Amino acid sequence: MGIPLASEARLESVNGRTPTIATLCSHSSLQIFHGARIEGFPTLGICVGSPPKFYDAFPLARPDQFLSVPTVKDLPKVTDKLREDGAIIVPHGSFVEYLGPEAFATMDVPVFGNRAVLGWESDRRKERDWLESAGVTMPKLFEDPKQIDGPVIVKYYGAKGGKGFFLAKNREALEGFHPTGPHVIQEYVLGTRYYMHFFYSPITDGGYRLREGSLELLGMDRRDEANIDELYKLGAQEELMKAGLRPTFVVTGNVPVILRESLLPRAFEVAARIVERSIDLFGGMVGPFCIEGIMTEDLEFKVFEISTRIVAGTNLFISGSPYSDLIEPGLSTGRRIAREIKRGRAEGRLAEVLS
Ligand code: ATP
């Protein structure tokens, strides 16, 4: 038996009945509903105001019912209704972002995955402690600008989509830079970006085994980021910055990628270390997560961020990916989540995958 994340009291609303899979109508909700439906679960879409019309365009992913709230922040007021429906909330990036970490952490409805991960993910320093203590290589941090020995990226805390990030090609280029808020100065890693979609199941025995449970790779993407991806077309970035044009990293879309096969063992090793360390630190990061990093020309993988729930890049693979097809054709991350809930119920181990 693994680590119980949810108390008996928390699970009362889903005991002895088929749960309803619920999420906020945004981000990767179509995929989550589609996957839940294939696995035989009823679905509920939480929406702000009227149900979004574009859901009508996707009948296989439209939830069975909608629950409307005036704003996302009002969600805690409808938790009685969600419990009555036997809802299990599947959180995605926007869900936690819009609701706020406090309200999410204390919401009295069963949630898929371990909520305790939030405390480690939302604080950049704690995230670094977690990953580095797992033996993962991250971009160097410069506490003292005098130590800068190459290109750097200055990241402001809470800069959504990297708005306001600042790039400098060396220490000299940063002279005269006056930060406008709390920030970190990080090594700018030159290489190619990979966003790897993993799934950790504490209740599965087969496949790529960890100390407890097993790890799956379900897909991989690269994000399209505006304006940085096309900035070069206007000329040298330094000149652009002098003209007041700043690079931004706002995600506008995603493209599918695969990794050189010989690099896959390294990718699994990094993911496994992160999960095993999470078990020691806070009971385990259960379900989907995404490792976001850069592979250098020396084939060193440097992780700059981890997302600890379903990422929007998985929407590329609603009908499977080159990786998930080798596990089971047609296996999306949304469907994998529903499958985990199904297995948890069948084996009386829901407490290990819900919190
Ligand atoms: P998110 O919207 O994912 O929360 P964020 O604002 O936390 O983004 P990061 O994910 O840390 O910012 O970085 C945004 C983008 O900046 C990355 O997708 C990548 O393109 C680039 N980037 C971040 N860190 C580095 C780095 N150390 N070296 C090179 N590029 C980086």
Mutate to test the pocket of ligand 1, among 138, 140, 304 (most ligand atoms within 8 A of CB): 304
Q: Could you tell me if residue 165 is inside a domain?
A: no
Contact yes or no for 101/95 (Cβ under 8 A): no
- pLDDT at residue 162 tops 70: no
d(CA 304, ligand 1 centre) in Å: 7
The CA distance from 217 to 213, in Å, is 14
Instruction: Give CA separation, 211 vs 69, 204, 215, 268, 330, in Å.
Output: 42, 12, 10, 14, 28
Taking only the tens place, the pLDDT of each residue in 29-44 is: 999 999 999 999 999 9
Sequence-ordered list of residues with C-beta below 8 angstroms from that of 149, at least 6 positions apart, any chain: 171
Q: Which amino acid is at 70?
A: P
Residues 6+ apart with CB under 8 A from 337: 32, 35, 36, 90, 112, 287, 288, 310
CATH code of 329's domain: 3.30.470.20
For residue 207, give its domain range. 8-133+192-223+258-352
The answer to the question of residue 126 being in a domain is yes
Please compute the mean of the pLDDT values over residues 11-27 and round it to a whole number. Answer: 96
Q: Nearest-CA neighbor of 61 among 332, 346, 343?
A: 332
**How many independent structural domains does the chain possess?**
1
The distance in angstroms from the start CA to the end CA of the chain is 16
Tell me, what's the pLDDT at 248? 87
C-alpha of residue 103 to centroid of ligand 1, in Å = 26
334 in a domain, yes or no?
Answer: yes
The residue contributing the CA closest to ligand 1 atom 14 is 162
Q: Which two tokens stand for residue 258?
A: 């695969």
User: Model confidence over 222-271: pLDDT tens digits?
Assistant: 999 999 998 888 887 777 877 888 888 999 999 999 999 999 999 999 99
Nearest ligand 1 atom to alpha carbon 160: 6
**148 occurs within a structural domain:** no
Q: Give tens-digit pLDDT for 276-313.
A: 999 999 999 999 999 999 999 999 999 999 999 999 99
Confidence at residue 99, expressed as pLDDT on a 0 to 100 scale: 94
Q: Which atom of ligand 1 is nearest to the CA of 223?
A: 18
Assess contact for 307 and 93: CB atoms under 8 A. yes
Range in 81-95, 169-183, 251-265 the model is least confident about? 169-183
Confidence of residue 338 (pLDDT cuts 50, 70, 90): very high
CA distance 61 to 77: 26
Which residues have any ligand 1 atom within 6 Å of their CB?
139, 153, 155, 159, 161-162, 186-189, 193, 223, 225, 249, 294, 304-305
Q: Is 70 a domain residue? A: yes
Please report, to the nearest 10 degrees, the dihedral formed by the alpha carbons of residues 204, 208, 211, 213 taken in order: -10
pLDDT at 161: 65
pLDDT of residue 1 exceeding 90: no
Pairing of strands 287-295, 166-168: unpaired
| 267 assigned to some structural domain | yes
For residue 142, what are its two tokens? 């410069």
List beta partners, residue 197.
219, 290
Q: Is the Cβ–Cβ distance between 303 and 138 less than 8 Å?
A: yes
